[in-house]
Amino acid sequence: MTTGMIWYNDNKHNELQQVLLQAMDDYQRWYGVAPRQCQVCPGEIPNIRRISRKFHIKLNVNIQLLPGQIWLGG
């Protein structure tokens, strides 16, 4: 079974990079391991390559996620 969480960012002024950093930190604190994969809504497609290289995490698009939602999992 994959452990995962959905993170919601209600502040539209925060960039995905900043939100993802906070979500990854919380995931690490709550589950004791770093997340290995992340899914974002289709509106974040332009940011995916740049961010996945920087954070060393597998980033994919999930059409079921709404704007502001991020899914992190192991």
Structure confidence by residue, pLDDT tens digits, 13-25: 778 888 888 999 9
* pLDDT exceeds 50 at position 1: no
| Burial class of residue 70 (count of CB atoms within 10 Å of its CB; 0-12, 13-18, 19+) | buried
- Predicted local confidence at residue 20, as pLDDT: 87
- Predicted local confidence at residue 2, as pLDDT: 67
- Predicted local confidence at residue 64, as pLDDT: 94
β-pairing, 4-8 vs 69-73, is antiparallel
Structure confidence by residue, pLDDT tens digits, 23-62: 999 999 999 999 999 999 888 877 777 777 777 788 889 9
Prediction pTM value: 0.81
Domain range enclosing 42:
4-73
Q: How many domains in the chain?
A: 1
